[in-house]
Amino acid sequence: MSNRVVVTGLGVVSPVGLNKKTTWKSLLAGKSGIDTIKAFDPEGLQTTIAGEVDGFDPEAIVGRKLARRMDRFVQLGAAAALEALADAGVQIDSSNCNRVSAMIASGIGGIMTLSEQVGVLHEKGASRVSPFLVPMMMPDMAAGQISMLLGAKGPNYIAVSACSTGGDMLGQAFEAIRRDEVDIVFAGAAEAAICPIGVAGFNACKALSRRNDDPQKASRPFDAERDGFVLGEGAAVLVLESLEHAVKRDATVVAEMVGYGSTADAHHITQPAPGGEGGARAMNRALEVAALAPDEIDYINAHGTSTPLNDKYETMAMKTVFGEEAYKIPISSTKSMTGHLLGASGAFEAAVCVMAIANWAVPPTTNLEFPDPDCDLDYTPHVPRRGRIRTAMSNSFGFGGHNASLIFQSVE
């Protein structure tokens, strides 16, 4: 018999808040974290806006020396993990460290460090390249550094699946606990790709919104005037734990993770499969693992990127899975406020689902002013929806045809 898996802590750093409390408050208020890029001068780029984490001080989190040896994505992940540690009230020592894991992934890794050091190479020569380049740019280094910070000696690895990375990492952690490989996993993802090469690269594949004159309305999931996603950054870490272990240590259980489905489109390097066929199979698999019927889902946090094909095909996928029930389920895309956190989006939006269950509220989809006739479900426009949420689903779909769907449930 598989272990039951529960959530006992959360940590979040996002464009709308430096912790889970501020982030949740901002989401319910419909507050946007998208603005003109401040980290560098974006002049000359086709897109000059992003969802940046404002006011973040990594030295206050991990100290000056360690912060200087971490790429920004690792710094963000460390902040989320340490908040999650405090939230869960976990004590890690020699008696349990081998049964505690850190699995914090990244879809892209240390692109800021890599970009900066390529500049050093060309301007100053090979001898001036930082000895920390390789360990700072590696996408597994959030997991590595955070395991050191926590003293977690259990399995330490990551899953990388583009924008499904966070969802798949939580799914892999879920399975590790279910098969009794570990008792606790600090699971999630972190991303920080708001740099010239990052923006230019996504511009080159025509993925980003160019609504530079109105940043806060640029991310428009399911809206007829959407023109691409807005790049965001951030991190989210969930403390996943076997129910037996959580009860034994008298932990507060926030929600239970009950389902995970992962599929491949096998279709195209960037475009989703027609009709959202792969996403539909991921949702069906998550429902199967959770032993839930489609009419038992109370909320869906959609992938909802604000790109033409994704929003249309995700809508079609939800209709395939839920049939007429799809029209009754409150759905929202919090990317309308945060932008797209790339590899971290699945972990962040899973955290949103858990907070929705805990706080009895569905955050809104903002900027939904001109509904697309092809996107005709209940996307919770503009204002939050209050009411009990027993079960929530989070969808993440990535370049390369990766699909992940997660399901969380309240614990009575």
pLDDT at 166 exceeding the cut of 90: yes
pLDDT at 349 exceeding the cut of 90: yes
Indicate which residue of 163, 195, 353, 375 is catalytic. 163
pLDDT at 149 exceeding the cut of 90: yes
Residue 88: CB partners within 8 Å, gap ≥ 6?
8, 9, 239, 241, 251
pLDDT digits 0-9 by tens, 54-77: 999 999 999 999 999 999 999 999
Token pair of 201 as six digits: 């690269």
Integer Cα distance of 347 and 249 in angstroms: 25
Integer Cα distance of 317 and 274 in angstroms: 9
For residue 163, indicate whether it is catalytic.
yes
**What's the pLDDT score for residue 79?**
98
**What's the pLDDT score for residue 62?**
96
Indicate which residue of 340, 353, 375, 402 is catalytic. 340
Burial of residue 31 (number of CB atoms within 10 Å: 0-12, 13-18, 19+): middle
Q: Rounded mean pLDDT of the chain?
A: 97
Closest alpha carbon to 325 in 368, 294, 359: 294
For residue 303, indicate whether it is catalytic.
yes
Q: Residue 337: which pLDDT band, with cuts at 50, 70 and 90?
A: very high
Integer Cα distance of 210 and 165 in angstroms: 25
- Give the chain's domains with CATH numbers: 5-248 (3.40.47.10), 263-409 (3.40.47.10)
Indicate which residue of 245, 303, 353, 375 is catalytic. 303
Burial of residue 211 (number of CB atoms within 10 Å: 0-12, 13-18, 19+): buried
Query: Residue type at 102?
Result: A
pTM score: 0.97
Task: Give mean pLDDT, residues 10-25.
Answer: 98
Q: In DSSP terms, which residues pair with 34 in a beta bridge?
A: 51
Closest alpha carbon to 233 in 203, 274, 191: 191
pLDDT digits 0-9 by tens, 360-375: 999 999 999 999 999 9
Q: Residue 412: which pLDDT band, with cuts at 50, 70 and 90?
A: confident
pLDDT digits 0-9 by tens, 185-206: 999 999 999 999 999 999 999 9
